[in-house]
Amino acid sequence: MIFVLSWGEVRIHLLNGYILLRENPKNVSNPSNITTRVSIFLRPFINSAAVLGIEIKNKKASFKYFLLEEFIAGIVLSGSEIKSIRASKANIGDAYCKMHKGELFVINMYIGPYSNAGYSQHKERNERKLLLNKTELRKIDKKLKDTGITVVPVLLFISEKGYAKLKIALAKGKNVGDKRADVKEKDLRREGQRFQAGE
C-alpha cells in the first residue's frame, strides 16, 4: 500500500507503514525532522492501513464442525513470528488447540520464516501459548470434557493495536450427512444469487 504526501517542498512516500523521504530540496534545512513529525502524526493511520485487514481464515472449520462458542485469544509470539503474520505468511488450516496444565495452546499453526530474522529464526509449526482470562480457560477446559467437543482456530487477524489475535471456537464435528446438507445449502444460495443477478 503506497501513499504520497507533499509537505511544502518535501515529498513523503508512505510504503507499507514506512516513511520514505524521496526529495531533499536544498531550501529545507533539516528534512529528517519533517519525516519524524510526519511519522508521529500519521502513525495510527499507517498502522491501520498497513496491517489491519489481514485476516487468515480456516476455511475448513465451518465445513467440518458446528461452531458452538467463539473466543478471541492473544498469542505468545517472537518478533519474527509477528512480522511474518503481518506479511500474511501464516496458515491455520491444519491447526488445532489443546489444554495443558490449565493453559491453552495452538498446535500446528504455520508461520512462515521471516527473511530478516537472521540466526533467531522461529520454528514454522511451533507450539504457541494462547492468552485468555481465567474464566474463559476454565469454561473451555470444562467443555472439553464433553464427548465430541474440541477447540478449533477459526481466524487469525491483526487487532487495531497491531497485535496478532486468534479467534477460536468450541466445536463439534459434523457427520457426512451434515456436510452434504451444508453443500446443498450453499448450492441453493448460489443459485438464488445468480437468479437475483439475472444470469
Of residues 92 and 192, which shows the higher confidence score? Answer: 92
Inside any domain, residue 47? yes
Has residue 195 been placed in a domain?
Answer: no
pLDDT at 142 over 70: yes
When mean pLDDT is compared across 21-30, 64-73, 151-160, 176-185, the lowest value belongs to 21-30
CB 141 within 8 A of CB 102: yes
My answer on whether 35 and 79 are in the same domain is no
Domain count, the chain: 2
The answer to whether residues 78 and 169 belong to one domain is yes
The confidence score (pLDDT) of residue 58 equals 95
Domain that holds residue 24: 2-51
Between 117 and 136, the more confident residue is 136
Query: For residues 15 and 117, which has the higher predicted lDDT (pLDDT)?
Result: 117
Q: Are residues 116 and 69 in the same domain?
A: yes
Sign for the CA dihedral angle at 31, 37, 38, 39 comes to positive
The three three-digit cell numbers of residue 42, written as one number? 500519521
pTM (2 decimals)? Answer: 0.66
Amino acid at site 190: R
Confidence tier at 29 by pLDDT (50, 70, 90): low
**Whether residues 63 and 28 fall in one domain:** no
Output the pLDDT for position 178.
56
Checking if the pLDDT of 15 tops 50, the result is no
Say if residue 88 is in the same domain as residue 6. no
- Which residue in 169, 159, 160 sits closest to 75, CA to CA? 159
Q: How confident is the model at residue 198 (pLDDT cuts 50, 70, 90)?
A: low
pLDDT in tens, 64-108: 999 999 999 999 999 999 999 999 999 999 999 999 999 999 999
Q: Output the pLDDT for position 180.
A: 61
